[in-house]
Chains A and B, each alone.
Chain A
Amino acid sequence: DAGVIQSPRHEVTEMGQEVTLRCKPISGHNSLFWYRQTMMRGLELLIYFNNNVPIDDSGMPEDRFSAKMPNASFSTLKIQPSEPRDSAVYFCASSLQGRDTQYFGPGTRLTVL
């Protein structure tokens, strides 16, 4: 069975450009999470969806970040405009419910020049 799928795996862009990261959770999972990981700050939760509804977006750094989950099998994280400090690895994870084991995708390594 396929795990969490993320695309692209690597993204290099210039400051000011829009970046869209995509995620397909494991089929049947009701909760989806977006994380950002850097050496300095570790693994940070950005936003958490349950049944396609955003439950907790307190980790979204600022208005430049937005996330959507239009259906149970797809989510996007958008950064507009991007800045060099957004460079990080962005992980998507899914679980049956919020309290359950989370399964992580392979991540997207974002570099903003």
Chain B
Amino acid sequence: QKEVEQNSGPLSVPEGAIASLNCTYSDRGSQSFFWYRQYSGKSPELIMFIYSNGDKEDGRFTAQLNKASQYVSLLIRDSQPSDSATYLCASYTGRRALTFGSGTRLQVQP
């Protein structure tokens, strides 16, 4: 079992809709979680991170963490074609550096 799992997609949503990206992790010792966005041919860039159970909002982005269910999600409100990218979920367990999932490809249809 991979430490961080994501559905590879593609996840296709119409412009203006809410995109929901999901990530599960296997290590209950995971302390913090990061969402990165990667455009094709570019390097990953941080969108947001979350440490505590519950929701964390930043503009159109909301990260949700449920440690009991070992589940992290990223919601993108009012999706735009420019949000089309691969979204990488990563966890930090304290033992080593970040562990990345394989990413979910999001397509926002105009």
Contact = CB atoms under 8 A, between A and B. Distances in A.
- Most chain A CB atoms below 10 A, which of B32, B44, B99, B102: B44
Nearest to A48: B97
B100 interface: yes
A31 B100 contact: no
A104 B88 CA distance: 13
Contacts of B103: 42-43
B38 to A, nearest CB: 9
Contacts of B1: none
Interface stretch (A63-71, A77-85, A94-102): A94-102
B46 interface: yes
A55 B43 CA distance: 23
Interface of A: 31, 33, 42-43, 45, 48, 55-56, 91, 98-99, 101-107
Interface of B: 31-32, 34, 42-46, 49, 88, 92, 94, 96-103
